[in-house]
Amino acid sequence: MSLHPTAHAATRPDHPAVIMAGSGETITFREMEDEANRFAQLLRARGLGPNESGGDAFAVLLENRIEYFTLIWGSQRSGTMLVPISTRLTAPEIAYILRDSEAKLLITSTAFTDVLEGVRAQCPDLPVLVMGGSGDEDFAAALAAQPAEPIEDQSAGVVMLYSSGTTGRPKGIRPAPPADPDPQAAIPLMGLAVMGAGMPTDGSMVYLSPAPLYHAAPIGWCSTAHRLGGTVVMMEKFEPEAALAAIEKYKVTDSQWVPTHFVRFLKLDPEVRTKYDLSSHSRALHAAAPCPVPIKQEMIEWWGPIVNEYYAGSESIGMTMVRSPDWLTHPGSVGKAIYGTLHICGPDGEELPAGEDGLIYFENDLLPTYHNDPAKTREAMHPKGWMTLGDIGHVDEDGFLYLTDRKSHMIISGGVNIYPQEIENLLVTHDKVMDAAVIGAPDPDLGEKVVAVVQPIDMAEAGEALEQELREFLAPQLARIKMPKLFDFRPDLPREQNGKLYKRELRDEYVAKAREGVDA
């Protein structure tokens, strides 16, 4: 049996492929198949198809909406390159990605009318189709004008994701060409989903996706759920109680989260947390950022031993996974490698023994490159041909991986290396803290000082008393050199919905303040 939506459209045409969690809007596998074929025809009609560099690119700037899957599955059989764009970006940032990816078409919606004006000004020759638009740019009309028959020259398409730009301008992650050009060929993530995460192959899966589809994990796992014949329940936007309600209403079996989702769940009133029936929920994946040990322990106590964690990246160079039973005996671990071979290396490139922190590399036959940035590609490579995502960590004697932090986040204060993640993980467990980011800010004496940017649950409590409470909370658990020199309370942090913090924005702000102080 072919594990692909095309096969499910033939055998289970009326089975729901996507349900929007809030509105209940639904598309069946047959409907999704027809729309995907129409979109493939549209791409061909506009001259987009396979090429030697991985396929002609088109960009997608969309909120979570059901038509996103028309684009995903239409491209996947067209040999084209889909470039998802973050909805939080500004017009200049969007225009940069459009130019860098050499996109030949932009598909967006009326939700982005304001930013689109700036994009058009910077990319005046780029064709645009708008969901909810009018005239020649009406996406629905352009799609309806195409036949629902498959194109004759189907081939597997790819997705080129752009890094979140947390440490500079975003970089396109150009995937390795598909090992098999057949759109219905098996892909590595499908096997990992079944073997590693235990996802069912009998079409019974109901998969809840609470995050924006333009991120690697949602687009990858939702596509995998469809290949396995499952129903994707997609939230328009994550809200903790609404997510619990969706699990109950749609009898969700599988889901995917990030640690900030868990934190927000656990900050809910206990009566709210316990009023929903979660008995159908059999597997909960999480990744994207390290999860504080106490937070995960509480989630396992609440949901049971169904919380499975993995470590990977948009680059798809490797993956580790750990299920709850193994995590409970190896708390804090992100598991053993299930795709690619792990190597932990020191600054000299030599492999380190168990227990020693170093740069994490994956050895793999299929490796991506960074689009238009050979220097960044070289920087990520080990002399032996392995690749790193830029994370620091170590393995224990049993081969379980533990993450320390990102190399680029390290603070050097008074000559001492400080990893912010440790401090952040402690802060978010305080019952008055919703979120926290720890950064290094310029300091004339120490080089860098530790700054904790904290989002309190109640901004009315922000001030000296809460700062003192947090210092007393941290003191027994942190060396003095790691104690924040400054607490900066804010109503929210620049965090992506996939859990990644835009620390660069915070650091840039403090660098600017330091310069102003010098000038003054």
Residue 165 pLDDT more than 70?
no
- Residue 280 and residue 138 share a domain: no
CATH code for the domain in which residue 360 is found: 2.30.38.10
DSSP three-state, residue 409: helix
What pLDDT does residue 189 have? 66
- The rounded mean pLDDT for the chain is 92
Among residues 307, 313, 303, 299, the alpha carbon closest in space to that of 279 is found at 303
CA pair distance 338, 340, nearest whole angstrom: 7
The range of the structural domain enclosing residue 130 comes to 5-10+23-183
- Residue 86 and residue 59 share a domain: yes
Residue 455, strand partner residues: 435
Confidence of residue 518 (pLDDT cuts 50, 70, 90): very low
What pLDDT does residue 45 have? 97
Task: State what percent of residues in the chain have pLDDT above 90.
Answer: 75
Highest mean pLDDT: which range of 173-177, 377-381, 504-508: 377-381
CA pair distance 288, 302, nearest whole angstrom: 21
CA angle 291, 294, 300 (to 5 degrees): 85
pLDDT (tens digit, 9 = 90+) per residue, 275-324? 999 999 999 999 877 788 999 999 999 999 999 999 998 898 999 999 99
CATH code for the domain in which residue 460 is found: 3.30.300.30
319-322 vs 307-311, strand pairing mode: antiparallel
- Residue 361 and residue 507 share a domain: no
Specify if 15 maps to a domain. no
Residue 161, strand partner residues: 173
**Cα 311 from chain centre:** 11
Find the mean pLDDT for residues 423-439: 94
DSSP three-state, residue 194: helix
Q: What is the DSSP letter of 290?
A: P
* Residue position matching structure tokens 């940069």: 96
Other Cβ atoms within 10 Å of 286 Cβ, number: 21
Confidence of residue 434 (pLDDT cuts 50, 70, 90): very high
Specify if 316 maps to a domain. yes
Q: Which two tokens stand for residue 94?
A: 């969007």
- Residue 130 and residue 104 share a domain: yes
- Residue 496 and residue 382 share a domain: no
Where is average pLDDT lowest: 423-427, 469-473, 487-491, 505-509?
A: 505-509
Find the mean pLDDT for residues 56-61: 98
Among residues 206, 276, 230, 252, the alpha carbon closest in space to that of 3 is found at 230
| 183, 198, 216 - which closes a domain | 183
In 145-267, where does DSSP find H-type helix? 188-195, 216-227, 240-250, 259-266
What pLDDT does residue 503 have? 84
Q: Which two tokens stand for residue 399?
A: 């081969």
- Angle, in degrees to the nearest 10, between helices 420-427 and 464-474: 110
- Residue 153 and residue 177 share a domain: yes
What pLDDT does residue 178 have? 79
- Residue 368 and residue 219 share a domain: no
427 within 8 A of 483, measured Cβ to Cβ? no
Residue 433 pLDDT more than 80?
yes
- Residue 283 and residue 159 share a domain: no
- Residue 173 and residue 100 share a domain: yes
| 148, 183, 218 - which closes a domain | 183
CA pair distance 3, 362, nearest whole angstrom: 28
pLDDT (tens digit, 9 = 90+) per residue, 32-41? 999 999 999 9
CA pair distance 278, 280, nearest whole angstrom: 6
- Residue 258 and residue 141 share a domain: no
CB neighbour class for 298 (10 Å; exposed up to 12, middle 13-18, buried from 19)? middle
CA pair distance 236, 22, nearest whole angstrom: 7
Q: Which two tokens stand for residue 332?
A: 């804090």
What pLDDT does residue 507 have? 87
- Residue 166 and residue 55 share a domain: yes
pLDDT (tens digit, 9 = 90+) per residue, 227-276? 999 999 999 999 999 999 999 999 999 999 988 899 999 999 999 999 99
Specify if 469 maps to a domain. yes
CA pair distance 352, 297, nearest whole angstrom: 29
Specify if 18 maps to a domain. no
**For residue 378, what is the enclosing H or E element?**
helix 374-380
Which CA distances in Å does 221 have to 217, 292, 343, 452?
A: 6, 23, 26, 34
CATH code for the domain in which residue 243 is found: 3.40.50.12780
- 25 versus 288: the higher-pLDDT residue is 25
Specify if 419 maps to a domain. yes
| 128, 155, 183 - which closes a domain | 183
- Residue 208 and residue 306 share a domain: yes
CA pair distance 185, 194, nearest whole angstrom: 16
What pLDDT does residue 197 have? 83
pLDDT (tens digit, 9 = 90+) per residue, 94-149? 999 999 999 999 999 999 999 999 999 999 999 999 999 999 999 999 999 999 99
Q: Which two tokens stand for residue 232?
A: 């994707």
Confidence of residue 419 (pLDDT cuts 50, 70, 90): confident
Specify if 17 maps to a domain. no
Q: How many domains does the chain have?
A: 4
